[in-house]
Structure 1
Amino acid sequence: MKSFKAIFALAILASSSLAMAEGGGDRVYGRMMQENQRAMEQYALKNGKSTPEVVHYEYGMNLDIQKLVSVTQANKTCSVAPSRMTYEDSAGKLNTVEYRVMGTNCPHGS
């Protein structure tokens, strides 16, 4: 079980890194979200859980996060892009929230 989680984490990080290296266009983010969806479907299947439905985050949502499963990597540009977080709630149900996040490569003012 631990080796599966380690391999899964590495696969997510590798796919996210490859996506960022390609330039960060909409097509790349779309592919990254599809890969994340497939990985979460496989995780759900291996853990006997229902595949999580993607819910778009709204300000003030109450997130019952018991265990973090996956977070897509922030983009390495200075722009806003989609990201996803999948977690198990206190009832053990898988949940995926999609939200927008600012890139990590913005110049700092002097």
Structure 2
Amino acid sequence: MNFYRVGLGVLTATLSFGALAENGGDRTFALMMERNEKAMAAYAEKQGKPAPQVQVYRYGMDLDIAKVVSVTPPIRACKAVPSRMTYEDSSGSLNTLEYQVMGVCRNNGG
């Protein structure tokens, strides 16, 4: 079980760093989200569960998070960027939530 967790973590990190090396912009967002979706489908299959459907976060949603499985890191951008979190709820079902986070911004000005 720990082997799968470590393997999933390494896979997610590798895919995320690969997305950061792309040309940026919307293409990077789309590629990162596509890779995350595939990785979570593979994880779900290994766990014998259906692949999670992506839900867009709405303020005030009632969330039942028992265990976080994966979180995509923010990319380099000086604006809000999409991120996803896949988690298991208290009944053991997998869920993926898409939401906005502030990108990693390095301001070169004074």
| TM > 0.5 fold call | yes
Q: CA deviation at 1:81?
A: 1.2
Corresponding residue of 2:82 = 82
The SS at the match of 2:36 is helix
1:2-32 Cα distance to aligned partner (Å, 9 max, x none): 1121111111111111212324311111011
Identical-pair percentage: 48
Q: Distance in 2 between matches of 1:15 and 1:82?
A: 16
Q: Which ranges of structure 2 fall in alignment gaps of 5 or more residues? A: none
Pick closer, same or farther for the CA change 1:2–1:99 going to 2, 3 Å: same
Corresponding residue of 2:11 = 11
TM-score w.r.t. the length of structure 1 is 0.90
> Which runs of at least 4 in structure 1 moved beyond 4 Å after TM superposition?
none
Of 76-85 and 14-23, more deviation after overlay is shown by 14-23
TM-score w.r.t. the length of structure 2 is 0.90
Q: Which ranges of structure 1 fall in alignment gaps of 5 or more residues? A: none
Corresponding residue of 1:50 = 50
1:7-59 Cα distance to aligned partner (Å, 9 max, x none): 11111111111212324311111011111111111111100111111000000
Q: Distance in 1 between matches of 2:12 and 2:82?
A: 15
Corresponding residue of 2:95 = 95
Q: What amino acid is the match of 2:104?
A: T
Alignment of 1:58-73 (within 5 A): 58-73=58-73
Of 2-11 and 88-97, more deviation after overlay is shown by 2-11
Of 2-11 and 58-67, more deviation after overlay is shown by 2-11
Pick closer, same or farther for the CA change 1:106–1:63 going to 2, 3 Å: farther
The SS at the match of 1:3 is helix
Q: Distance in 1 between matches of 2:5 and 2:76?
A: 25
